[in-house]
Amino acid sequence: MSGTSGSVAAATPDDEYEILCDDNGPFLRRYSTEDGATVVTDTTLDGTTAYTVAGTVGRCSEPPLPPNPQLAGTIQRQTGAGTVTIAAGARSVTVVVYAGSPTVAIGGGTAVPLNAGTSLTWSVDRGGDAGEQLQDGYVFTGVAGTEFLVTSTREA
């Protein structure tokens, strides 16, 4: 066949793949086009096991972040004898000692004196769906000559 030129086109399907999600999670959808017709085939993510769609189909996305929780705050200044109690479950607790040596007992433990000038904070990073909170209660006790400030936050 000397002097002959030309080309031959083999009819092969054009396949495109997309990972989609339905009510059960992700699956693989293959779009095949051959001879102008498009055929849709759904499989599990292995690409071979047949899959039956359940519910609404859409693009997969990252799960939404939980909304920022609303926090309620407290503040109490104690001068002289008295007690400030912060129940377990707070997101943060801070004490600042101005005078004297009030004590703090955490989770029913032994009371520890805090000297004037002390500032302490206990806190967690996240609450909401993560459920972080301080597991212990805090009891701050003052006597004559003490002055301190206690603040706290917790989910409202």
Across 6-15, 62-71, 141-150, the highest mean pLDDT is recorded for 141-150
pLDDT at 66 (0 to 100): 59
pLDDT at 142 (0 to 100): 97
Contacts of 49 (CB under 8 A, 6+ apart): 43
For the chain, give the percent of residues with pLDDT over 70: 83
Please give the average per-residue pLDDT across 113-142, as a whole number: 88
Q: How many CB atoms lie within 10 A of CB 21?
A: 15
